[in-house]
Structure 1
Amino acid sequence: MVKLKYNEERNYRKENRIVFLLFSLFFYFSGNSQTLQDYIREAEQNNPQLKAMQYTYEAALEKVNEAGSLPNTSIGAGYFVSEPETRTGAQKAKFTAKQSLPWFGTLKAKKNKETSTSEVFKNDVEILRRKIGLDVKRRYYELYSWKAKEKILKQQKELLSDYKEITISEVANNKASAVDVLKINIAQNELDNKIEIIKGNILNAETSFNKILDRDGFEDLIVPDNLIIPDEEPTMSIDDVTYHPELLKYDNLSDMVIAQQKVNDKERLPGLSVGLDYVVVEERPDQTFSDNGKDIVMPMLSLSIPLFSKKFKSKDKQFELKQEGYSQQREAEQNKLEEILEKAINNRITARINYTTQVKNIEQANQAEQVALSMYQTNQLDFNELLEIQEMILGFELKKITSIKDYFIQTAIINYLE
């Protein structure tokens, strides 16, 4: 009767687990995925470094308008302390206005340079945003792992309680000894110890998670009870990193250097200045001719010629060296990202293999548990062996959770690199 009662309870628990798993799958695909995205958005909105970088990018955009503006207009005024005499009268004061004009196309080249510079900052914003998303996902799956392990340990403790009831009944029937009950108590104590340790790990994981979300206080975090590894492994290509923002950054830097080169080419051309001088002339009191006291108006045009071009040649050489440097940095960064991607793909495959192995082990260990329990109740098996099987099942369950966590973290890394 005890064995029958135990099997009925065990089957009922399994049925509940199946129903719970189906509901978990439904809520995972309909809600938990969105919850993760909510966490990512919250982290992006609250991250001070991202905000600062966004402001830097917006400031760079404003510099485009600044670069398209003409130089300041020079306005001057002077009073003749010693008045020079002319035929039409004495010069009393002089007013001057002057405007420098860059060579045709110079302002456009400067605007293009600032636009290229702003693209560099924009790319930095995208890189940081991706890194924040990856960091959130890591903490999300770490927290899932600890909570799932806590749940498994609590279920194992409940199962040992069922074993304890069976063992006490067997002791009453002289089919088991009180030592077996004490062994179960010891096993439960060990589980309590592991549960308390995991609770500390959960607290640390939640603190770390809340920190990246930049929350003022400690708030509850929602993670799924179950994560399911997809049936098929998606195919990946190493070329997927070619257009990653960390590589596009060097393309943007290269474009910025090209724009600077064009500005340098324009600045070595002559510069124009237009102006106007206006001289106030006082009338001669003893003269009556028509131009008496007529003010002087003098339009001016000047040309600025860069006769010494050494600095422009030096800039050309600097730009050439920068271009080569960015090209080499891009190649080195691409090799690094490809290595990380290849490692992540292999680690994800390994996690899937480990997961599949643990699922098989759990299934076979559960079968062994049923056989061992029957043998124990007929005095054909030592109680230590039954506990060893339970310890084995627990180890498989914990390894399965670790495999799931590893799979999704490696997937997050791969998504970051796409």
Structure 2
Amino acid sequence: MRNIKYKQITMWLLAFSLALLPLLSQAQGSRQVDRYLVQGAENNPRLKALFTQYLAALEQIPQVGTLPDPQVTFGYFIKPIETRVGEQKATFSASQMFPWFGTLEAQERVAAQRAKVRLQAFEEAKLELYRDIRVTYNDLYYLQVATQITEENLEILTSFKELAQVYFETGQAGLSAVLQVEMEEEELRSRLEYLVDSKEPLVTKFEQLLNTDLEEPVAFPDSLWEEELLLEKEEIYKVLLAENPRLERLRQEALVYENQVEVAEKMGLPSFTLGAGYTNVAPRNDVEMPDNGQDAFLFPQVGIRVPIYRKKYKAMQQEALLEKEAVELQKENLENQLLTELEEEYRDLLEARRRVALYKRLSNLAEESFSLLQEEFSTGRNSFEEVLRMERQLLSYRLELAEARTALNNQVYNINYLMGSQYETKNR
């Protein structure tokens, strides 16, 4: 009987420790994941590529904002041209073309705006990377919590199995009690193996997001936290339409074509050429005269380019206007898609909140029932099967609660990504 009493006390202590799993605040969880966000931003090849493209786009600004290269020509007369003051031997000229006033500045604005589009693509990818890192970290954490809960339940089942064996040997329970514990134990071991096998693919995904091989295991706080949105639904709508990275990229792209219209207009205006010419004249030996052999200088030499073929420039303007209109329509369509997506994400968020609240209540009730059933079982007022059934129910509720917390956190990350801002979250 002393051995039975010892087994019962051990079983109760294990169940009590399982019931007291601590809940750490979101702030502690965020501190753990922050270093991975920094590591991902520094190492991720996609981010590096997009930022390099932005730097390359910046190099377009001085290219389009600079005057065309000067034109220099040199000519040598194989048969010199006779003039009154001597033979023309060679000629040299240099000219510079000047576009219409403000054309270069307009082209610079287009190039700068295109660079902003590239920068916005980088910002969009960065927010997406942060979201993916947080979600993957959260999923890894769920696996750890689920593994821990399953292992602790296996310990309880081990005590149950030993207790059932003692009861069977003393004639207080049948062989079915031992077999039921063994069946439950086999199911839990199979579930535990699946949880362990599921970890490696997630770790690989996490390393790919960080673009590094982790030398140490992923660091977690002691328990799964709960994220919370800082804004109400109506405010989220407004922030989404104002700051969503995909919408912002389309707004920047529309400005590119708006500036392109101005460039097309200015290209349809005249441009000017300013230059100078020099002709080398050989002196005459057969006569003495003023300016004999005097070289000829021509300055200024002025030219004008007259854009008389207007269809070309009108088509350029119309092209830019149509491109802008297309981007505006894309933006309108994306707004509709994002609002629909937000409705779905918010619905799933509310469902996750309900599930968290539900399984908190059910877990508490199951813990109390489990404790009462153990007391009743120890005094012979209840069957071993009832205790085992409640243990199974308690395990299910704890795993459901961990999964609901994971879903809640991931929904908050998804909604924050849609808003396009790195809102700090707080503990519920």
Question: Which range, TM-score by smaller chain?
Answer: over 0.9
Could you say which residue in structure 1 is the equivalent of 2:426?
Answer: none
Q: Indicate conservation of the 8 Å contact 1:117/1:253, yes or no.
A: yes
Q: C-alpha displacement at 1:17, in angstroms? A: 6.7
User: Cα deviation per residue 1:134-177 (whole Å; 9 max; x = unaligned)?
Assistant: 11112111111111111000010111123234334434543223
Could you say which residue in structure 1 is the equivalent of 2:424?
Answer: none
Q: Indicate conservation of the 8 Å contact 2:260/2:317, yes or no.
A: no
Tell me, what secondary structure is at the counterpart of 2:59?
Answer: helix
Structure 2 portions without partners, runs of 5+: 420-428
Q: C-alpha displacement at 1:188, in angstroms? A: 1.7
User: Cα deviation per residue 1:378-409 (whole Å; 9 max; x = unaligned)?
Assistant: 44433222221111111111110110100010
Could you say which residue in structure 2 is the equivalent of 1:117?
Answer: 114
Letter paired with 1:285: N
Q: Indicate conservation of the 8 Å contact 1:210/1:219, yes or no.
A: no
Q: Measure the CA separation in 2 of the matches of 1:158 and 1:340.
A: 43
Range with bigger deviation, 377-386 or 240-249: 377-386
Superposition RMSD in Å: 2.3
Q: Measure the CA separation in 1 of the matches of 2:354 and 2:412.
A: 15
Q: Measure the CA separation in 2 of the matches of 1:233 and 1:213.
A: 28
Q: C-alpha displacement at 1:360, in angstroms? A: 0.8
**% identical aligned pairs:** 26
Q: Measure the CA separation in 1 of the matches of 2:231 and 2:65.
A: 49
Letter paired with 2:156: L
Letter paired with 2:325: E
Taking structure 2 as the reference length, the TM-score comes to 0.90
**Distance change >3 Å, CA 111–CA 295, structure 1 → 2:** same
Tell me, what secondary structure is at the counterpart of 2:224?
Answer: coil
Range with bigger deviation, 32-41 or 238-247: 32-41
Could you say which residue in structure 1 is the equivalent of 2:273?
Answer: 273
Query: In the alignment, is residue 129 of structure 1 matched against residue 126 of structure 2?
Result: yes
Q: Measure the CA separation in 1 of the matches of 2:328 and 2:186.
A: 61
Query: In the alignment, is residue 247 of structure 1 matched against residue 255 of structure 2?
Result: no
Letter paired with 2:233: M
The partner residue of 2:88 within 87, 91, 101 is: 91
Q: C-alpha displacement at 1:88, in angstroms? A: 0.7
Could you say which residue in structure 2 is the equivalent of 1:297?
Answer: 297
Superposed counterparts of 1:226-237, under 5 Å: 226-229=223-226, 234-237=231-234
Report how many residues are paired. 413
The partner residue of 1:72 within 56, 69, 72 is: 69
Q: C-alpha displacement at 1:35, in angstroms? A: 2.9
Structure 1 portions without partners, runs of 5+: none
Q: C-alpha displacement at 1:12, in angstroms? A: 7.7
Q: C-alpha displacement at 1:186, in angstroms? A: 2.6
Tell me, what secondary structure is at the counterpart of 1:109?
Answer: helix
Q: C-alpha displacement at 1:185, in angstroms? A: 2.5
Asked which structure has the greater RCO (Cα within 8 Å, sep 6+), the reply is 2
Could you say which residue in structure 1 is the equivalent of 2:423?
Answer: none
Q: C-alpha displacement at 1:260, in angstroms? A: 0.6
**Distance change >3 Å, CA 140–CA 333, structure 1 → 2:** same
Q: Indicate conservation of the 8 Å contact 1:144/1:225, yes or no.
A: no
Q: Measure the CA separation in 1 of the matches of 2:325 and 2:94.
A: 45
Could you say which residue in structure 2 is the equivalent of 1:353?
Answer: 354
**Distance change >3 Å, CA 314–CA 117, structure 1 → 2:** same
User: Cα deviation per residue 1:91-141 (whole Å; 9 max; x = unaligned)?
Assistant: 011011111111111111111111111111111111111111111112111
The partner residue of 2:167 within 157, 166, 170 is: 170
User: Cα deviation per residue 1:64-84 (whole Å; 9 max; x = unaligned)?
Assistant: 111111101111111111101
Could you say which residue in structure 2 is the equivalent of 1:144?
Answer: 141
Range with bigger deviation, 61-70 or 155-164: 155-164
Q: Measure the CA separation in 1 of the matches of 2:113 and 2:253.
A: 8
Superposed counterparts of 1:148-227, under 5 Å: 148-171=145-168, 173-216=170-213, 220-227=217-224
Q: Indicate conservation of the 8 Å contact 1:365/1:389, yes or no.
A: yes
Q: C-alpha displacement at 1:29, in angstroms? A: 2.8
Taking structure 1 as the reference length, the TM-score comes to 0.92
